[in-house]
Amino acid sequence: MRVLIAGGGTGGHIMPALAIADALQKQYQAELLFVGTPRGLESKLVPQAGHKLELIKVGQLKNVSLVTRLRTMLDLPMSVLHCRSLLKQFRPDVVIGVGGYASGPGMVAAILARIPTLAVEPNAFPGLANRLVGKHVSAAAVNFEPALKYFRNAQVTGIPVRAEFFQLQRRPENGLPHLLIFGGSQGARVLNRTMPQVVARLLEAVPGLTILHQAGARHAEETQAAYAASGADPSRWQVHAFLDDMARRFEAADLVLSRSGASTVAEEMAAGKPALLVPFPGAADDHQRKNAEVMAGAGAATLLLESEMTPDRLLESLTAMLGNRAELKAMGERARTLAHPDAASRIAAMACEVLGPGLKAQGSVPPIAR
């Protein structure tokens, strides 16, 4: 079967797309083509993973000036036409839209050409592209239940997370507490600025606590300096620019303080880690807040809005959470029940399900577990 995967932008879109591609190749020997934009992370990550990538021009619509929005609107028919010619050349049996810039034109072109489509939505509130095509797709795979209503034939499959997040050792009952702080791939300025103001008091309030803080490449130096100037015992905290071995870092943590990007939250669920979530308020349509609400609603995380996050409120929340190990453990277990270890294979199976019966008969397509 031939599958075209459209979309990208940030790691949050492209990482799940690559995992789905992997499952499609392994389970169904699928032939793949990615369609993305030159400014998205896909232009680096997709060729690196050994896949073919076609680039189209698509502008931004969210959180940009009116002029940029108008230009994007004017460019859109051209992007759809470009996708249409790619569809003619590649002749996919199904088009998967993973959200992000190239997803909208790719899916619109497929729907107009009556090619089966599968939308993948990582966030609790879908992005603009997926909201526009949601009711016209053949089926949709979503990460969170609140997103179901925006699509036709939608199922909660979760989004793929690296396998090692599911295989972590449980924390020892009586070990010294450890806090992991990270703000997504670029770090979170508000965490970088607020933590140094409270770290000395936090370490005093929670005996034995150690902290690992990922600050992002651009802010690591100043965050490190602010921690150093805080007077906190330097043997009990570390600041890093980026963490390559995130699963191991999760394993060592009793609590994670983070943003609530879709993959971040999915990894916390997979790892069974309780979290204090501070959604990025600038995320399109405030979707990080909705992602966080799903985890908090299940009793697996505490939600702290950036607008309400004074240093004292942050200190209070961290001290209260770290001071109650039994509750942290229970929250972690609740997080684990929300995880979806079979997300990639279920999404690959859904891609097969939306094909016509003739094509389905060519591959061994397992029924979708409901």
The CA dihedral of 321, 327, 330, 334, to the nearest 10 degrees, is -50
Smallest separation, CB 278 to ligand UD1 (Å): 12
Smallest separation, CB 298 to ligand UD1 (Å): 18
Residues 6+ apart with CB under 8 A from 233: 203
Helical ranges in the chain per DSSP H: 11-28, 42-48, 66-90, 103-112, 128-133, 189-205, 220-229, 246-251, 262-271, 287-297, 311-322, 325-337, 343-353, 357-362
CB 106 within 8 A of CB 80: no
Smallest separation, CB 356 to ligand UD1 (Å): 30
Q: Which of 200/309 has CB closer to ligand UD1? A: 309
Q: Which of 92/216 has CB closer to ligand UD1? A: 216
Q: Which residues bind ligand UD1 (CB under 6 A)?
A: 10-13, 15, 99, 122-123, 182, 184-185, 214, 242-243, 246, 261-264, 267, 280, 283, 287-288
Q: What is the distance in angstroms between the CA of the first residue and the CA of the last residue of the chain? A: 24
- In the annotated binding site for UDP-N-acetyl-alpha-D-glucosamine, the residues are 10-12, 123, 162, 185, 288
> Measured between alpha carbons, how far is residue 30 from residues 25, 93, 156 in Å?
5, 10, 23
Q: Which of 82/240 has CB closer to ligand UD1? A: 240
Q: Which of 109/124 has CB closer to ligand UD1? A: 124
Smallest separation, CB 190 to ligand UD1 (Å): 13
DSSP per residue, 337-355: HT--TTHHHHHHHHHHHTS
- What is the chain's Cα-based Rg? 21
Q: Which of 261/274 has CB closer to ligand UD1? A: 261
- In the annotated binding site, the residues are 10-12, 123, 162, 185, 288
